[in-house]
Structure 1
Amino acid sequence: FKYRVRMLYLDLDDLKSVFAKRFFWSYDRLNLGCFLRKDYFGDQRDSVKKSIQNEIRKKLHFNHHGKIYLLTNPRYFGYCFNPVSFYYCFNTKNKLEVIISHITNTPWNENHAYIHDCRHIKEPMKTFKFGKDFHVSPFMPMNIRYEWSFREPGEELVVSMNNIHDKEFMFNASMKLQKKPLTKKSLNLLLLKFPPETFKTIFSIYWQALCLKIKGVTFFSHP
């Protein structure tokens, strides 16, 4: 199945200015469209950027300095759900050092971060192989391997996620986005899209789950 998606690619240093002085949008305040700190990674007492840098220090044992960009959906009409948000962390020379995939499941609303160290990968397409350790879909077992690939963001942004079970390909989820300017007009147009992106996302998840259930696909309970 295929869906058209629209996401925001946000500089974490500019969050307040992006949404400032926009009648229908706001930062950390409810509006038709808004960016609320509580919807994103880390301790809400810290900024999102500081939380990401703390996670890098904790897991990869180095101090990150530079820009961090967040690929996500904001809150539309009071509702926010992101199955995954991606944090692209660049150093001061604009080299991609780390990608963090922040996963949220439903209906449990649990979250988990996978950290991908890009520092020693020279190719534009960064590929990572690792084991699954967070329950997402009841139609996917826990004993699978992931092979995720990320193309460095430019005019296009590409993410491809393969699920491997018993050394055999099982499932792929891919996303290819085209870069568009972030302006007052483009933000307001997002509010006119129906259904709003976050509503469409959650509906699509449960619709596909229903289709799989009807087909009799094996169901795996939350561990």
Structure 2
Amino acid sequence: MLPALVPGRVTHARRMPVRHRFGHRTYQWLVDVDELPRFGALASFSPSDHLGSADRSLRENVAAFAAAQGIPLAPDDRVVMLANARGLGYVFDPLSVFWCLTSAGDVRCVVLEIHNTYGERHAQLARPDGDGRFSVGKDFYVSPFFSVDGRYDVTLRLDPERVSVAIDLTQGDQRVFSAAFSGRPRPARALAVLGVALRTPAATYQVWALIRIHGVWLWLRRLPMIPRRRHVPPEGV
């Protein structure tokens, strides 16, 4: 049943040259982009927060991006998004996942949309195998402590019992970083939305703050910083 809340846990693990791990409780939203929910100041969704043009619907933007990558969507395809909602006037969404599903429920493709803290965004399209696995190149500057090279090995799960995203970054022949989110979806009724907002107040502000806190910690450990170049996003982003 959508829209759904997905309370869960996010974990990060940096393996080298400085080892650093953390995890915390959070929640995300699982929504059909054709039926975006609105819960006032607590949660809303806008095309301007994601890929494409703010003048088109989110579905139109996802469809345009997929078509530009050579995979047109059918009119009866369904697009389901896992993302943070805009709350209390702000949203920061490090990763949004769009599942493009056929009318039979099969995965036609997925779109990963990544945001960095410099106001840039990047999207990549992939076709997972039967176990939800695929690999894509690292083409986007996210952390100042990682160069723009290597590959992401991704595993996705989308079913009524569990929604999860697991990503491993490999550079050279070494797995240097892993990140994951996993949770169990439940219907986004008004009381449930209020409950998660009270248990995790200002969730996207917390994401913004935690990224900077952990970044400062790594900087104090004298981890070398990689210069950032201006990013030119792919067509349709």
Q: TM-score, normalized by length of structure 1? A: 0.87
Q: 1:175 to 1:33 in 2, by over 3 A?
A: closer
CA shift, 1:174, in A, is 1.0
Q: What SS is found at the alignment partner of 2:25?
A: coil
Counterpart residue number, 2:99: 88
Runs of at least 4 residues off by over 4 Å? none
CA shift, 1:190, in A, is 3.1
Structure 1 residue runs of 5 or longer lacking an equivalent are 20-24
CA shift, 1:32, in A, is 4.2
Q: In 2, are the aligned partners of 1:68 and 1:89 still within 8 Å (CA)? A: yes
- In structure 1, C-alpha distance between the alignment counterparts of 2:103 and 2:126, rounded to whole Å: 18
2:34 is the counterpart of 1:3: no
Counterpart residue number, 2:120: 110
Q: 2:67 aligns with which of 29, 43, 57?
A: 57
Q: In 1, are the aligned partners of 2:141 and 2:148 still within 8 Å (CA)? A: yes
2:83 is the counterpart of 1:72: yes
Aligned amino acid, residue 151 of structure 2: R
Aligned amino acid, residue 91 of structure 2: C
Q: Which has the higher contact order (CA 8 A, sep 6+)?
A: 2
Q: What SS is found at the alignment partner of 1:93?
A: coil
Q: How does 1:41-190 map to 2 (within 5 A)?
A: 41-64=51-74, 65-106=76-117, 108-118=118-128, 121=129, 123=130, 125-190=131-196
Aligned amino acid, residue 35 of structure 2: D
Aligned amino acid, residue 79 of structure 1: Y
The CA RMSD measured in Å over matched residues stands at 1.5
- In structure 2, C-alpha distance between the alignment counterparts of 1:5 and 1:32, rounded to whole Å: 15
Q: In 2, are the aligned partners of 1:33 and 1:191 still within 8 Å (CA)? A: no
Counterpart residue number, 1:22: none
Q: In 1, are the aligned partners of 2:126 and 2:136 still within 8 Å (CA)? A: no
Q: In 1, are the aligned partners of 2:46 and 2:58 still within 8 Å (CA)? A: no
- In structure 1, C-alpha distance between the alignment counterparts of 2:171 and 2:204, rounded to whole Å: 30
- Give CA-to-partner distance per residue, 1:60-115, whole Å, 9 cap, x none: 24333411111111111111110111111110111111111111101x21000011
- In structure 1, C-alpha distance between the alignment counterparts of 2:147 and 2:116, rounded to whole Å: 14
- In structure 1, C-alpha distance between the alignment counterparts of 2:57 and 2:157, rounded to whole Å: 27
CA shift, 1:145, in A, is 1.7
- In structure 2, C-alpha distance between the alignment counterparts of 1:132 and 1:176, rounded to whole Å: 22
User: Which one has a larger percent helix, Structure 1 or Structure 2?
Assistant: 1
- Give CA-to-partner distance per residue, 1:20-39, whole Å, 9 cap, x none: xxxxx24xxxx343223321
- In structure 1, C-alpha distance between the alignment counterparts of 2:150 and 2:47, rounded to whole Å: 32
Q: In 2, are the aligned partners of 1:76 and 1:191 still within 8 Å (CA)? A: no
Q: TM-score, normalized by length of structure 2? A: 0.82
Q: What SS is found at the alignment partner of 1:6?
A: strand
Aligned amino acid, residue 61 of structure 2: S
- In structure 2, C-alpha distance between the alignment counterparts of 1:193 and 1:78, rounded to whole Å: 18
Q: In 1, are the aligned partners of 2:47 and 2:56 still within 8 Å (CA)? A: no
Identity %: 23
- Give CA-to-partner distance per residue, 1:189-214, whole Å, 9 cap, x none: 23323442101101110011011111
- In structure 2, C-alpha distance between the alignment counterparts of 1:155 and 1:181, rounded to whole Å: 12
